[in-house]
Amino acid sequence: MKWKHYLKTAAGGLLVHKSRSVLTILGIVIGIAAIIMISSLGEGANQLILREIQAMGSRTLVVTPGKEPRGPSNINSLFLDALKERELKALQDQSKVPSVVDATPMIIVPGSVSYGGETYDPTTMGSSENFAELMDVYPNPGRFFNAEEVRQNESVAIIGSEVKNKLFGPSEGLGAKIKIRGRYFRVIGIFPQTGSSIFFNMDDLIVIPYTTGQRYLLGTDHFFEIIVRAQSEALVPRAVAEIEATLRETQGITDPEKDYFHIHTQIDLADRVGLVGTILTLLLSSIAAISLLVGGIGIMNIMLVSVTERTREIGLRKAIGATEKNIMTQFVLEAILLTGLGGIIGTTLGITASFIIGQLIRRFGGLEWVFSIPIASALVGITLSCLIGLIFGIFPARSAAKKNPIEALRYE
Amino acid sequence: MEKVKIIETRNLQKTYFSSEGLPTPALRDISITISKGEFVSIMGPSGSGKSTLLHILGLLDEPTKGDYFLDGKNIKDYDKEAIASLRNEKIGFIFQFFNLLARTSVFDNVILPLLYSKVPEKDWKHRALEAIEAVNLGHRKDYLPSQLSGGEKQRVAIARALVTDPSIIFADEPTGNLDSRNGHNILEILQNLNEKQGRTIILITHESHAAAHAQRKIILKDGLVEIDEKILNQLRPTDVIIK
Ligand SMILES: Nc1ncnc2c1ncn2[C@@H]1O[C@H](COP(=O)(O)OP(=O)(O)O)[C@@H](O)[C@H]1O
Ligand SMILES: [Mg+2]
């Protein structure tokens, strides 16, 4: 018997019970959809994170005060003022940290900003003249503040496009005086619109000299973090060692267990994101595995019912010359068609769901989500579903093939 | 005229066993010979073993004991696959309950045996149409079984039995579910197949009128051949006045 005729016969068998066939493959549909979503969303998230990390630069390190977060204890909060001008100067000293290119301090100033009658709640950060180059964002129109303005505690600010729109509307805003925590700052630059990123939204940002922020707005002398760049990605481990040694020397720490700072590398970050990804993948994979198993058993059950119902048909086919192999192939193929169809529906559903979720992340998360069709997983998914049909279809098909034609013809 | 044996059984026995192991002897000792081109009717009371014998002769079942030679060859020498292709090539079945596939057109029902045959696909359509024409159902070829009368259904079953051009046709009470007019029509077709095409026909029936269309009558009783005789006045289609 030729494949064409097997296929026709098997398809005919399925069409007899359309709604039952559709219900039967639900488990397969869900399982395969889950697999497709794992890979599509996983790939999207991966690309997003990779882009963020690349944007920050893989040679970028972040030094934060306090202990490395370990366990539930928040003892680290005791040392949140551990990074001060002294530590910054040390990290900017080429002789102490030769693998380091620059060290840029960061502070965060909570609170809103106002201009005329308009008030807005942006993210206000204090940093050094290095910031623009570090983040690869340059004001246009206007300029970033320079080292001299940092040294002189000048009240100047560069604002993001969103902040500008909220405060000034369509007018330019350059040179205007905005009020942050009761102090006036002159707007000297506006960042072009960049779209947001996971870590912070440039469009929603105000950057002022950290010195001004510390002295006039916060009244503190410590930093929220210091961003350090190594000479190259390869030199990151050496830079970490140099920073550790330098900071310990500066702070007089001998026991590394008592460090008052922590160094985050992009590799750490990637690892942590990767871990979350792995946990999610495992979770979704087990859902997929369970629904595929349940789906497979469902297929087997419905095929057994079908074989019993069609006892007369089987008997007739044998009476007119069908071999056991013919009958077996017909029923296995029926199961494979069923699960294969489930695989195709599941794949379509998974791709659609991934697309919609991606759109939601774009719209509500404001992230540059890239939707990708996971062709490899789609193929794997459809193949896997066919395989399930084969595995769970063999037993019912065998029982069909082994039927005694007389018993079968006698069956009412 | 020289007679070629097409069917020969020697001391055929068939015993069924219930699930408790209780034996039911259906055939006790059957030794018969049927020649090529014969039209034989098998009669006997219900439970006498007619169907059992037909199933064994039609290769749907195996005897518990004894030998069965089909075309001179002992069936025991064939494997399952070979038996299936013998069923396909040499044997055509007609059942009391038609056994047509529902939701499948007349044409597709008739073509079914060809799916399992060695007949090249290009000949299928032509063969199926020829078989459908032979039972005068050309105008019904795209109908579903549910749209046909009982007589028409049985004619589809005959077309299906004919499509592989078998040398023997087994019919188990083919008129049992039909009125006399349709029953007569079926018997006429069987007689034609025997006389015009030289096919061997084995007909099970409990109506002596139907049995009289054959050339020879075998009567079974309790799994044994009670009577095996030539029918002297074979009933001709023209003998019957159709009401
Ligand atoms: N599958 C079976 N299992 C057990 N007993 C059976 C089976 N088929 C037939 N028999 C028994 O064998 C005997 C002959 O049956 P059967 O050949 O069908 O008779 P007939 O066709 O002459 O009415 C009966 O007693 C019947 O009950
Ligand atoms: Mg019977």
Going from the Cα of B46 to the center of ligand 2, the distance in angstroms, rounded, reads 7
pLDDT at residue B158, rounded to an integer: 94
Point out the ligand 1 atom lying closest to the alpha carbon of residue B48: 22
pLDDT at residue A276, rounded to an integer: 73
DSSP reduced 3-state for B22: coil
DSSP reduced 3-state for A127: strand
The set of residues, in sequence order, having a beta carbon less than 8 Å from that of A124 and lying 6+ positions away, is: A108, A109, A110, A111, A113, A180, A205, A206, A207, A208, A213
Of A320, A198, A231, nearest to B157 by C-alpha is A320
Identity of residue B132 = I
- Find the DSSP H helices in A57-114: 85-91
Tokens of A65: 């005060």
pLDDT at residue B2, rounded to an integer: 62
Judging by beta carbons within 10 Å of its beta carbon (0-12, 13-18, 19+), is residue A199 exposed, middle or buried?
exposed
> Tens digit of pLDDT per residue, chain B (243 long)?
568 999 999 999 999 998 898 999 999 999 999 999 999 999 999 999 999 999 999 999 999 999 999 999 999 999 999 999 999 999 999 988 889 998 899 999 999 999 999 999 999 999 999 999 999 999 999 999 999 999 999 999 999 999 999 999 999 999 988 898 899 999 999 999 999 999 999 999 988 889 999 999 999 999 999 999 998 888 876 655 443
CB atoms within 10 A of CB B187: 27
List A63's β-bridge partners, or say none. Answer: A226, A263
Of A9, A12, A320, the CB nearest to B87: A320
pLDDT at residue A257, rounded to an integer: 67
CB atoms within 10 A of CB B103: 11
Instruction: Give the N- to C-terminal CA distance of chain A in Å, as an integer.
Output: 28
Of A210, A215, A205, A157, nearest to A185 by C-alpha is A157
Cα Dmax for chain B: 52
Produce one character per residue of B149-168: b if its CB has 16 or more CB atoms within 10 Å, e if not.
eebbbbbbbbbbbbbbebbb
In short, whether B46's Cβ falls inside 6 Å of ligand 1 is: yes
Cα Dmax for chain A: 103
Rounded distance between C-alpha atoms, residue A72 and residue A82, angstroms: 21
pLDDT at residue A301, rounded to an integer: 92
Identify the structural domains of chain B with CATH numbers, from first to last.
5-230 (3.40.50.300)
Low-confidence ranges of chain A (pLDDT < 50): 76
Tokens of A354: 């991934």
Q: Does ipTM exceed 0.95?
A: no
The set of residues, in sequence order, having a beta carbon less than 8 Å from that of A26 and lying 6+ positions away, is: A295, A298, A342
Are the CB atoms for A62 and A267 separated by under 8 Å? no
Mark yes or no for CB contact B87/A319 under 8 Å.
Answer: yes
pLDDT at residue B62, rounded to an integer: 92
Going from the Cα of A321 to the center of ligand 1, the distance in angstroms, rounded, reads 23
List A229's β-bridge partners, or say none. Answer: A60, A102
**CA A44 vs CA A40, A273, A371: distances in Å:** 6, 13, 6
Are the CB atoms for B210 and B177 separated by under 8 Å? no
Chain B hits for A11, CB-CB cut-off 8 Å, are none
Interface of B with A (CB under 8 A): 55, 58, 60-61, 80-81, 84-85, 87-89, 93, 95, 99, 101, 103-104, 112-113, 115-117, 121, 160, 164
DSSP reduced 3-state for B43: strand
Are the CB atoms for A31 and A227 separated by under 8 Å? no
Of A283, A264, A266, nearest to A42 by C-alpha is A283
Identity of residue A154 = E
Determine phi and psi for B186, rounding to 5 degrees: -65, -45
Residue with the smallest CA separation from ligand 1 atom 25 is B47
